Amino acid sequence: GNSVTQMEGPVTLSEEAFLTINCTYTATGYPSLFWYVQYPGEGLQLLLKATKADDKGSNKGFEATYRKETTSFHLEKGSVQVSDSAVYFCALRLPRGFQKLVFGTGTRLLVSP
Amino acid sequence: NAGVTQTPKFQVLKTGQSMTLQCAQDMNHEYMSWYRQDPGMGLRLIHYSVGAGITDQGEVPNGYNVSRSTTEDFPLRLLSAAPSQTSVYFCASSYNGQGKAGGSPTGELFFGEGSRLTVL
């Protein structure tokens, strides 16, 4: 079936450290890939997306590249801030799947000053 | 800028009670959906709707009922609550991308702030 696997959390970093959150997927066809972020007490919001192989999504200093050969979409940021503390969800949408997204389990990021 | 509004934010029920979680959006989105969020399991799709009068089941529909009589509203009903339904529920909406504007769905969902439900 279609699924998304994320690294277990929490990920604990100091401010200005480099961040990587791993995400791999299993899907039929060629899905679109997304990263959503959930700040404490809020709903999820779209962080970035990529719709085809080798596309790079970017937003707010975060980046992720759609790697078809490794079925991955790892999230990276060069220098995290305390305000980046949140839960990050990787997700996929199948072609012709309307807006039905399949989410990973989420990875909590904690950034300390 | 209301966006997606969910009520109530918190609710405690006893086993067997019924209730409705309300969801309203003011963005004229065709697509609306309900997810539940449980620790270690991420978000799972319960039901969704691609337009008024059209609903369909997601991954975990059992024990839940939905209807879509207007574009704006998509209530989720629990007919007989069970402890296994203790969760945080999120409503999300978006454009289908297949209507007047054309194009394909973008995958960007707009989420409400969530409703935390406890069933004792």
Which member of B35, B42, B108 has the closest CB to residue A104? Answer: B42
Q: Which is nearest to B111 in space by CA: A35, A44, A91, A112?
A: A44
CB-based contacts of B63: which residues, under 8 Å, 6+ apart? B78, B79, B80, B82, B84, B85
- Token representation of residue B32: 């609306």
Q: Give pLDDT, residue B108.
A: 84
Which member of B48, B107, B112 has the closest CB to residue A93? Answer: B107
- Name the 3-class secondary structure at B84: helix
Q: How far apart are CA B107 and CA A49, in angstroms?
A: 9
Task: Give the CB-side neighbour count of residue B23, counting CA atoms within 13 A.
Answer: 32
> Chain B closest CA to A79's CA: distance in Å?
26
What's the whole-number mean pLDDT along residues B96-114?
A: 67
Rounded alpha-carbon distances, angstroms, from residue A100 to A16, A78, A94, A97: 35, 31, 8, 6
- Can you list the residues of chain A whose pLDDT is less than 70? 97
Residues above pLDDT 70, as percent of chain B: 90
CB-based contacts of A9: which residues, under 8 Å, 6+ apart? A87, A106, A107, A108, A109
Predicted confidence (pLDDT) per residue in B9-45, tens digit: 999 999 999 999 999 999 999 999 999 999 888 899 9
> Chain B closest CA to A71's CA: distance in Å?
19
Cα dihedral across residues B37, B91, B47, A36: positive or negative: negative
Q: Which is nearest to A35 in space by CA: A22, A54, A17, A52?
A: A22
CB B58 within 8 A of CB B48: yes
CA B107 from chain centre, in angstroms, equals: 16
Q: Give pLDDT, residue B102.
A: 42
Predicted confidence (pLDDT) per residue in A59-76, tens digit: 999 999 999 999 999 999
Instruction: Assign B100 a pLDDT band (cuts: 50, 70, 90).
Output: very low
Please tell me if residue B94 touches chain A, with a CB cutoff of 8 Å.
yes
